[in-house]
């Protein structure tokens, strides 16, 4: 029974579903409309109620009259609604507020109806007319005022209009009966109109909420598209290994900064790791990757996150730094190089690498990306020339040197330049017997505008712009042609560039070139430097072994100039080691220099590899080298580089005491 009553009450007070979006929207809209109309509703109820009370005679009116309570109640509720006007409530709060409104609407309607019927029974004919008027107006007015809350709107109809109409229908007065019928019909009409109004109201809210949810959906879709676009952009702009910005993102950032109208100057820094390749080659890519990740982490600390710090190539990085002038840029560049030069502890090993930096100070709105990059590149080139771990800032002098470099590049790109590059031949003698052992072919280039261009200058440029192969092959063919005319005992010593050395398939091509010129491989001597093997030691070894197998000799050139990596002596077999000129230059004046030279010569002796000393400029040096057991020698004290004809003539002489070639220099010890 209790359950049934509760069910019935539940049905009667069902004020709408708050779970669905539409239900919630309806709740809000009904409540909003009620908030606007309820004060009017109470005013209508109050005016009509007071009218009713006055019509039926104030004489009956006492303070304790139940009608007073109703008036008091209406005033309190009106105050409540006025206080809460415009307040935002949760759906559950709205539901309970509506339930309360429904209950009170029922109570007030019932009370009004009961009071109207009582007063009608007690009143005179005139007063009865007024009671009818106030009761009817109150029921119709209140039902309309509650139209946006139809369950509530039915209360004044069912609990006031219909019972009062029923009382009129029971009256013996035909006029009262007619009014009763009219009131019933009006009540039914009001119910119908409330229903129609509610259908329209629901439809309006439904379409508004459909538009709203469509707008929300579109907003979500737009937000999702923006998020996805940002994600795709981030992936496209990020270097996957280090998480730094990639070249594309960095260039875009640089372009944006250069394009700004005004702002502080900043520095663009390009960094190139010096000894990264051997880590990859010797310890594997995992170790190489770990080092790059650590480099990136150090740079991020310096240059910050985002597109300001980028990995723009395998072991090349770039930064945008807040340096306003050249000296600040140089200090920052040196600090970065010093920071990257600290040991790396990765995968249980300690690695040391260094890095060179090239910086250029830029002003927003002053210049384009291409020029900025080429200037930073020119500064980097200068940094590299200064030595490992060095930084250089772009200056007017660098610009001048860069201009010369660009001119050299332009000339080298033209294949006809090969004819302009000639060869000279510098003899290498046996220091004890004076016998001529070989001629080292040295490239010579004098340009009408640029003057003398040293091979130290143009060979690396030819390597960088990828024209070295054509130039070097041409020089090898020419020198092999010359060498074929020398006595069999005299070899051709040829400097092989780093690019050729580290390019797969170089060996068979070189052998084919000398074969075409009629020079046996046994008469070829290839000079390689340790740094030229750095780029790809594995390929260099394959090439050199193929040449050795064919009969050529391999010389390690400039030994002692760089790091004198002893490991190369273990990994590769060399037929001779050329001691770098810098080790000869200090002797015999410098005691440390003498000890160092002796130490290096002893090292070679213990490896049983003969030595060639280069850059011998004095008789003392010849004597000392001979005394320390150095087998061969080369240098201005023995002979300057000769042209092809002179070299041919020297080669034709059976045994030449090298001092005889030492034009104007001190004569050598005749015992040699």
Say how far apart CA 404 and CA 410 lie, in whole Å.
10
- Tell me which of 558, 587, 600, 625 binds Mg ion, using CB under 5 A: 558
Q: Which is nearer to Mg ion, 251 or 524 (CB)?
A: 524
Which member of 198, 274, 315, 632 is catalytic? Answer: 315
| Contact between 423 and 443 (Cβ < 8 Å) | yes
Q: Alpha-carbon distance 411 to 108, whole Å?
A: 106
CB of 238 to Mg ion, least distance (A): 44
**Separation of alpha carbons 623 and 615, rounded Å:** 14
d(CA 101, CA 352): 82
Residue 39 as a binder of ligand C2E (CB under 6 A): the answer is no
Q: Residue 623: enclosing H or E segment and its boundaries? A: helix 619-627
Alpha helices by DSSP H, listed for 390-536, are 396-413, 417-420, 455-464, 468-483, 498-501, 506-516, 530-534
**In the complex, least distance from residue 559 CB atom to Mg ion, rounded to whole angstroms:** 9
CA 33 centroid distance within chain = 54
Q: Pull the structure tokens for residue 231.
A: 């994600």
Q: Is residue 576 part of the contact set for ligand C2E (CB under 6 A)?
A: no
Binding test (CB under 5 A) with Mg ion, winner from 557, 587, 610, 656: 557
Of 360-368, 392-400, 408-416, 438-446, the segment contacting ligand C2E by CB under 6 A is 438-446
Q: How far is the CB of 589 from Mg ion (least distance, A)?
A: 22
Q: Which stretch binds ligand C2E (CB under 6 A): 9-17, 114-122, 448-456, 645-653?
A: 448-456
Nearest to 544 by CA among 569, 574, 512: 574
Is 315 a catalytic site residue? Answer: yes
- Which phi and psi angles does 430 have, rounded to 5°? -75, 120
358-417 binders of ligand C2E (CB under 6 A): none
Give which of ligand C2E, Mg ion, none residue 617 binds (C-beta under 5 to 8 Å, depending on kind): ligand C2E
Binding mask 480-519 vs ligand C2E (x if CB under 6 A, - otherwise)? ---------------xxx----------------------
Among 392, 459, 501, 647, binds ligand C2E (CB under 6 A): 459
Instruction: Select the span of 50-58, 115-123, 477-485, 558-566 touching Mg ion (CB under 5 A).
Output: 558-566
581 contributes a contact to ligand C2E by CB under 6 A: yes
Residue burial 584-621, b: 16+ Cβ < 10 Å; e: rest: bbebeeeeebeebbbebbebbeeeebbbbbbbbebbeb
Q: Which is nearer to Mg ion, 330 or 557 (CB)?
A: 557
- CB count within 10 Å of CB 623 equals 15
Site for ligand C2E in 410-429 (CB under 6 A): 426
269 vs 329: CA distance, rounded Å: 9
Residue 633 is a binding residue for ligand C2E (CB under 6 A):
no
Q: How many chain residues interact with ligand C2E (CB under 6 A)?
A: 24
Does position 443 interact with ligand C2E (CB under 6 A)? The reply is: yes
Helices and strands of the chain, counted as H and E runs: 26, 16
Element housing 261 (H / E): none
Q: Which of 166, 389, 455, 588 binds ligand C2E (CB under 6 A)?
A: 455
Contact 245, 310 (CB under 8 A): yes
Q: Note whether 509 and 458 are within 8 A (CB).
A: no
Whether 555 contacts 532, CB under 8 Å: no
- Please return the burial class of 257, using the count of CB atoms within 10 Å of its CB with bins 0-12, 13-18 and 19+: buried
Of 167, 523, 553, 615, which lies in the binding site for ligand C2E, with binding defined by CB under 6 A?
A: 615
Among Mg ion, ligand C2E, none, residue 483 binds (CB under 5-8 Å by kind):
none
Q: Annotate each residue in 582-621 with x if it binds Mg ion (CB under 5 A) or - if it does not, as one string.
A: --------------------------------x-------
Longest dimension (CA), the chain: 165
Shorter beta-carbon distance to ligand C2E: residue 33 or 585: 585
Among 58, 125, 456, 592, binds ligand C2E (CB under 6 A): 456
Q: Of 517-536, which residues contact Mg ion (CB under 5 A)?
A: 527
Residue 617 interacts with ligand C2E (CB under 6 A): yes or no: yes
- CA distance to 40, 415, 490, per residue, from 655 (Å): 131, 40, 11
Q: For ligand C2E, which stretch binds (CB under 6 A), given 185-193, 316-324, 337-345, 441-449?
A: 441-449
Distance of closest approach, residue 486 Cβ to ligand C2E, in angstroms? 18
**Both structure tokens of 498:** 């780093």
Among 598, 636, 648, 665, binds ligand C2E (CB under 6 A): 636
Burial of 668 (0-12, 13-18, 19+ CB in 10 A): buried
Q: Is 635 in the site for ligand C2E (CB under 6 A)?
A: yes
Min dist CB 292 to ligand C2E, Å, is 30
CA 60 to chain centre: 89
Q: Considering only residues 148, 186, 495, 621, which one is a binding residue for Mg ion as defined by CB under 5 A?
A: 495
How far is residue 333's CA from residue 376's CA, in Å, rounded to a whole number?
Answer: 12
User: Which residues here bind ligand C2E, judged by CB under 6 A?
Assistant: 426, 441-443, 454-456, 459, 472, 475, 495-497, 527, 557-558, 581, 614-617, 635-636, 641
User: Which residues here bind Mg ion, judged by CB under 5 A?
Assistant: 495, 527, 557-558, 614
Residues belonging to the active site? 315
């Amino acid at each position: 029974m209790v359950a049934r009553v509760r069910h019935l009450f539940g049905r009667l007070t069902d004020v709408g579903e708050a779970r669905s979006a539409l239900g919630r929207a309806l709740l809000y809209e009904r409540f909003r409309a009620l908030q606007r109309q309820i004060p009017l509703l109470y005013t209508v109820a109050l005016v009509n109620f007071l009218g009713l009370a006055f019509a039926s005679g104030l004489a009956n009116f006492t303070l304790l009259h139940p009608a007073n309570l109703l008036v008091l109640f209406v005033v309190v509720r009106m105050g409540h609604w006025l206080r809460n006007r415009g307040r935002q409530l949760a759906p559950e709060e709205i539901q309970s507020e509506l339930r309360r409104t429904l209950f009170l609407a029922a109570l007030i309607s019932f009370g009004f109806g009961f009071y109207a019927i009582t007063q009608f029974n007690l009143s005179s004919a005139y007063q009865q007319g007024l009671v009818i008027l106030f009761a009817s107006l109150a029921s119709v007015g209140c039902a309309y005022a509650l139209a946006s809350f139809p369950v509530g709107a039915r209360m004044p109809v069912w609990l006031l209009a219909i019972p009062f109409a029923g009382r009129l229908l029971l009256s013996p007065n035909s006029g009262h009966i007619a009014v009763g019928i009219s009131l019933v019909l009006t009540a039914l009409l009001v119910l119908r109109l409330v229903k129609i109004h509610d259908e329209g109201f629901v439809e309006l809210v439904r379409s508004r909420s459909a538009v709203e949810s469509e707008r929300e959906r579109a907003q979500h879709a737009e937000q999702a598209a923006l998020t996805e676009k940002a994600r795709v952009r981030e992936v496209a702009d990020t270097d996957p290994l280090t998480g730094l910005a990639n070249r594309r993102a960095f260039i875009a950032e640089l372009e944006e900064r250069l394009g700004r109208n005004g702002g502080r100057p900043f520095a663009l820094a390009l960094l190139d790791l010096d000894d990264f390749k051997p880590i990859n080659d010797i310890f594997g890519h995992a170790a190489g990757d770990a080092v790059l990740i650590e480099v990136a982490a150090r740079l991020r600390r310096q240059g910050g996150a985002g597109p300001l710090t980028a990995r723009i190539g395998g072991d090349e990085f770039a930064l945008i730094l807040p340096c306003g002038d050249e000296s600040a840029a140089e200090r920052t560049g040196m600090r970065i190089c010093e920071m990257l030069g600290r040991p790396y502890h990765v995968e249980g090993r300690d690695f040391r690498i260094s890095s060179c930096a090239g910086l250029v100070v830029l002003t927003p709105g002053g210049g384009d990306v291409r020029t900025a990059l080429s200037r930073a590149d020119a500064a980097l080139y200068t940094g590299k020339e200064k030595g490992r771990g060095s930084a250089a800032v772009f200056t007017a002098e660098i610009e001048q040197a860069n201009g010369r470099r660009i001119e050299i590049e332009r000339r080298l790109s033209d294949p006809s330049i090969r004819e302009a590059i000639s060869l000279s031949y510098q003899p290498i003698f046996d220091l004890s017997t004076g016998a001529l052992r070989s001629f080292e072919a040295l490239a010579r280039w004098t340009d009408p505008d640029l003057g003398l261009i040293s091979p130290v200058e143009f060979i690396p440029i030819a390597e960088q712009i990828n024209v070295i192969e054509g130039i070097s092959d041409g020089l090898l063919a020419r020198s092999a042609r010359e060498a074929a005319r020398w006595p069999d005992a005299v070899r051709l010593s040829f400097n092989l560039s780093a690019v050729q050395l580290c390019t797969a398939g170089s060996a068979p091509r070189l052998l084919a070139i000398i074969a075409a010129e009629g020079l046996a491989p046994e008469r070829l001597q290839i000079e390689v430097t340790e740094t030229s093997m750095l780029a790809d030691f594995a390929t260099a070894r394959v090439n050199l072994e193929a040449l050795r197998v064919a009969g050529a000799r391999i010389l390690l050139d400039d030994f002692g100039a760089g790091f004198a990596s002893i490991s190369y002596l273990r990994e590769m077999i060399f037929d001779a080691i050329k001691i770098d000129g810098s080790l000869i230059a200090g002797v015999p004046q410098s005691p440390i220099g003498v000890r160092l030279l002796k130490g290096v010569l002893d090292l070679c002796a213990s490896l049983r590899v003969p030595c060639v000393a280069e850059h011998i400029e004095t008789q003392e040096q010849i004597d000392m080298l001979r005394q320390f057991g150095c087998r061969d020698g080369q240098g201005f004290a023995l002979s300057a580089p000769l042209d092809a004809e002179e070299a041919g003539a020297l080669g034709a002489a059976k045994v030449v005491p090298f001092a005889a070639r030492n034009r104007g220099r001190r004569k050598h010890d005749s015992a040699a």
